Structure 1
Amino acid sequence: MAPTLGGRVAIVGTGHRAEMFVRGILARPSSSLVAICEPNSIRAAFYNQLLIDLGAQPVPVYQPVDFKDMLQKEKVETLVVCCVDALHDLYIVPALEAGVNVLTEKPMTTDVDKCRRILETVQRTGLHVTVTFNYRYNPVHELVKRTIAEGKIGKVLSVHFEWLLDTVHGADYFRRWHRQKTHSGGLMVHKAGHHFDLVNWWIDAEPETVAAFGKLAFYGDKAGKEHGWAREYERARGSEAAKNDPFAIHLDQDTILKAKYADAEGEDGYHRDQNVFAPGIGIEDDMSVMVRYNTGTTMTYHLTAYSPWEGYNVVFNGSQGRLELRVVESQHRVPGGTMEDGVSAPPVVGDATVTLQRLWEKPETLPVVWSHKGHGGGDERMLNVLFGPRPGEMKETGDASKQGANERDGAMALAVGIMANESFKTGKFVDIKSLNFPL
């Protein structure tokens, strides 16, 4: 069973994911938030106001340059890393060296060198990193895991995974810092790492070889003009051209987005509302991947970031039958929304279906527990496991309590994304041995 984290907690980064952790920490008497590390004072002030609104005291705010002093001065026991993906290692490594428990948002990091640095620090210190792959805690995903582990379809021989991001959620990655691989590693690392970890976990295997094709097919200036969606503006705020653009997000129309980003841009120049059809976008929106695992299982994977509906289809072909998972998270969303921040974010309204068909038998629809809460209920259950139950809440003792991901899991999910990105460039198969991970 995974150890409970908590105690004196500090958070690095005050983007949208930080709020889930802040609320989760404050809801548990065994933990307390003692510090925030954030270079933007406006966003940090937003979170201190949130603490006050939730009945807690504001906490000290530290600049990144003072991070090590923060760990010592505030006697930090657990660090939660929520900053830009490419910066994770800058906080994970010194925190481990200081003997602090580290919990990081996925992906663990964004490239080979940074991943090696984290893994080498783990080996040197004997401590571990907890990676918050919250989709593992989704009860529907647990059902898939159990069905495969119980041998219902025999040995898994192949997997097909299709993930669809719609033109609200998918477009959002092309408005913000994720649009550059130097920050996010692209959707193969930032988003697909989610999915690659699921497959690694579902089939109890690790990737060996990857081949992939990726392109910017829909967003960006060239594709936008070709398909008739392009508008001529740099960012939506203050732009006449953005007013009739269904892909634009208007920060001033949402109190949370305005407070976190529009009011804070004077400090760091970060624009949260960039044009998704502007020039200079450095990530792909349409990606096809093939993976071979150390068990001999193969997977075909496709990620589309411009679909009219959002969800995913996963098929497992086994020696004794077939298991199919279909999840519809949204079938239609209005233009201008965002899945990541603000009160405008609509709830997940879809459903999930899991179908088992053994050879020579009729298909069976398995009973599912579907939640409309964050990540299909995964966020709430993950917080229960990581920080313990809230008062009056039962502690998770089933599969969720055993499925926390560590640095090896983080590296294996990252490996698929890194190898896919390399294959995009070279057109060749890429072997995991080329990454030289110290595992």
Structure 2
Amino acid sequence: MSKKSYVLVGTGGRAEFFYGALVTDYQATGELKAFCDVNQTRMDYANGLLEKTYRHPRVNTYTADRFDDMIHNERPDYVIVTTVDRTHHRYIIRAMELGCHVITEKPMTVDEEKCQEILDTVKRTGKEVRVTFNYRYAPHNTKIRELIQDDVIGEVTSVHFEWALDTQHGADYFRRWHRNKQNSGGLLVHKSTHHFDLVNFWLNSEPKTVFASGGLRFYGKDNAEKRGVKHFYQRAYGSEHAKEDPFALHLDQNEHLKSMYLDAEMEDGYQRDQSVFGDGIDIEDTLAVNVVYKNKAVLSYSLNAYQSWEGFHVILNGTKGRLEAKVVERSYVNSGGKKADEGALEERKLMVMPMFSESYEVEMEEGVGGHGGGDPILLNDIFGEPVQDRFNRAANHIDGAKSILTGIAGNYSLKREQAIRVDSLLDFN
């Protein structure tokens, strides 16, 4: 396998997952050449991590307005996109136009117009876009795909999927830029994209009709009094009231968060530690979605961002039986410095309940690493030497589009209080 060169745009919390792997486990197959960001302080911190943590030389840095210069100067094979969600499309499209392939964090983008632009650019340039769906690679999620593919429960007719975010991880979406739907598409796009992709992956189908309901039921200023919040503050840093708030994030007490965000505020004004009960939150924390798929299966899905545990419970009903899985994950604060543990498993159980025989528990490979053991397998797939995969876990731009369409349609449904036909949003032809 020939050595590939990479540049990375967006050096925030998710970036180190990629560049840390490139400069350690995948030095033989990949070379990191440059960083690009709107914030020079944050790029300098990333370069400091390269030197101190990974014993790797500093790489060139380019401000966001010099993205084209970076591509012309560094001549990378791939651009890794880990910026704010609403800007993904900008760098994905321009990278392809300048002759590069793209690896992008999920969600691929936040609305159908930006998604259509990406699809059209792939067609026009012939370049590839990979979307990094870690959860596909988690052994328990792959096992579900295997059982369905091997006809263990027959044709899947319905799915019930509940995802719980706890008051550490779930609250974190309401402290940072994700709290604004124009940035993230809301949790239906930013977070649930993982989950909707899993259902597409398991069913080998795609959404046809979506109906969603929900709202901001726990967080936000309007709910503060009901949650026992006595004193309003907009951000934790410098606030006396935040010291007694269990939801407050104290950037100055975590060296990683301080260096990446607090010390970088002077450049872009971004505040990573906003109050979850402050002003300006316009995303939902409580969501219920019903989906009809093209293969006629139906999904009932719920997401709650303020629970006492982290993980999911999924039931798949088929014509030969039923499959039930419960997975409890270790919670975390994004960029909090425990990268190896993010999404690691605390508990998992997978049961098959045949229609006319005894139920049994399915043994699964023990995954190591974040996202239920999916992270290391994904990294090898994108940076190493991929092996033949009967489950086709590698996700391209079409998979990326189909995963966000459920959330995008759900956002329209929330506004209009009616079901949305997915094929009215995008043209794949």
Q: Report the TM-score range of the alignment, normalised by the length of the smaller protein.
A: over 0.9
Tell me by how many angstroms 1:231 deviates: 3.9
Structure 1 residues 343, 323: CA separation in 2 closer, same or farther (over 3 Å shift)?
closer
Distance 1:314 1:169 in 2: 20
The answer as to 2:331 corresponding to 1:341 is: no
Give the structure-2-normalised TM-score: 0.96
| Secondary structure in structure 1 of the residue aligned to 2:256 | helix
In 2, distance between residues paired with 1:132 and 1:320?
Answer: 33
Alignment partners' CA distance in 1, 2:2 and 2:427: 27
Is 1:170 paired with 2:165? no
Deviations 1:254-281 (A, max 9, x none): 1100110011111111000000001220
Describe how 1:24-423 pairs up with structure 2 within 5 A.
24-27=21-24, 28=26, 29-53=28-52, 54-229=54-229, 231-330=231-330, 338-343=333-338, 348-371=344-367, 373-388=369-384, 396-399=387-390, 402-423=392-413
Give the superposition deviation at 1:343. 4.3
Taking the aligned partners of 2:93 and 2:251, their CA distance within structure 1 comes to 35
Q: CA deviation at 1:57?
A: 1.2
**1 CA distance for matches of 2:378 and 2:2?**
11
**How many positions carry a matched residue from both structures?**
425
Question: Hey, what's the Cα distance between the residues in 2 that align with 1:307 and 1:344?
Answer: 22
Question: 413, 423, 427: which one pairs with 2:417?
Answer: 427
Determine the C-alpha separation between the residues in 2 that align with 1:141 and 1:270: 36
CA distance in 1, matches of 2:368, 2:168: 18
Amino acid at match of 1:383: L
Give 1:438 shift: 3.0
Residue type matched to 1:374 in 2? G
**Whole-angstrom distance in 2 between the partners of 1:127 and 1:286:** 38
The Cα RMSD (Å) is 1.7
| Whole-Å separation in 1 of the counterparts to 2:242 and 2:339 | 18
Shift of 1:230: 5.8
Letter of the 1:37 counterpart: C
Superimposed CA distance per residue, residues 346-394 of structure 1 (whole angstroms, 9 cap, x where no aligned partner)? 66351211100110211110002233521011111101111115xxxxx
Distance (whole Å) between structure 1 residues aligned to residue 171 and residue 2 of structure 2: 34
d(CA) in 1 for partners of 2:388 and 2:293?
30
Distance of 2:142 and 2:426 partners within structure 1 = 32
Question: In structure 1, what residue type is equivalent to 2:426?
Answer: N
Distance 2:268 2:352 in 1: 51
For 1:35, the aligned partner's letter is A
CA contact (8 A) 2:254 2:336 kept: no
SS at match of 2:244: coil
Q: Which runs of 5+ in 1 are unaligned?
A: 390-394
Of all paired residues, the percent bearing the same amino acid is: 44
Residue number in structure 2 paired with 1:13: 10
Q: What is the identity, as a one-letter code, of the residue corresponding to 1:282?
A: D
Give the drift of 1:15.
1.1
State the alpha-carbon separation in 2 of the partners of residues 88 and 346 from structure 1: 26
The answer to whether the Cα contact below 8 Å between 2:341 and 2:370 also exists between their aligned partners in 1 is: no
Counterparts of 1:182 and 1:200, CA distance in 2 = 25
CA distance, structure 1, for counterparts of residue 187 and residue 59 of structure 2:
34
Compute the displacement of 1:436 (Å). 2.9
Is the 1:176–1:274 Cα contact (8 Å) retained in structure 2? yes
**Residue type matched to 1:365 in 2?**
E
Aligned residues of 2:6 and 2:33 also touching (Cα < 8 A): yes
Q: Which residue identity does 1:8 align to in structure 2?
A: S
- Tell me by how many angstroms 1:437 deviates: 2.6
Check 1:6–1:212 CA distance in 2 against 1; reply closer, same or farther (3 A cut): farther
Cα shift readout 1:248-304 (whole Å, capped 9, x = no counterpart): 010011110011001111111100000000122010000000000000000000000
How has the CA–CA distance of structure 1 residues 345 and 10 changed in structure 2, closer, same or farther, with 3 Å as cutoff? closer
Inter-partner Cα distance in structure 2 for 1:82 and 1:6: 22
Mark the CA change 1:325 to 1:343 in structure 2 (over 3 Å): closer, same or farther.
closer
Distance 1:55 1:293, change over 3 A: same
- Residues of 2 paired with 1:230 and 1:156: CA distance? 49
| Residue 399 of structure 1: how far off its partner (Å) | 4.5
Question: Which shows bigger deviation, 315-324 or 349-358?
Answer: 349-358
Moved more, 66-75 or 151-160: 66-75
**Partners of 2:407 and 2:134 in 1: CA distance:** 18
AA at the equivalent of 2:349: T
Distance 2:125 2:157 in 1: 38
Per-residue Cα deviation, 1:145-204 (whole angstroms, up to 9, x for no partner): 000000000000000000000000000000000000110000000000010000000110
Change (3 A) 1:231 1:329: farther
The CA deviation string for residues 398-433 of structure 1, in whole angstroms up to 9 with x for no partner, is 457x31101110110110000000000000000012
Whichever residue aligns with residue 412 of structure 2, its letter is: E
**1:214 shift after superposition:** 1.7
Whether the 8 Å contact between 2:2 and 2:29 is mirrored in structure 1 is: no
CA-to-aligned-CA distance 1:106-139 (integer Å, 9 cap, x gap): 0000011100100000111122210001111111
CA distance in structure 2 between the partners assigned to 1:5 and 1:217 by the alignment: 52
**Displacement of 1:55:** 1.8
Measured in 1, the distance between the counterparts of 2:205 and 2:107 equals 19
Mapped partners of 2:339, 2:361: distance in 1:
34
SS of residue paired to 1:380: helix
Q: Distance in 1 between matches of 2:334 and 2:35?
A: 24
AA aligned opposite 1:197: D
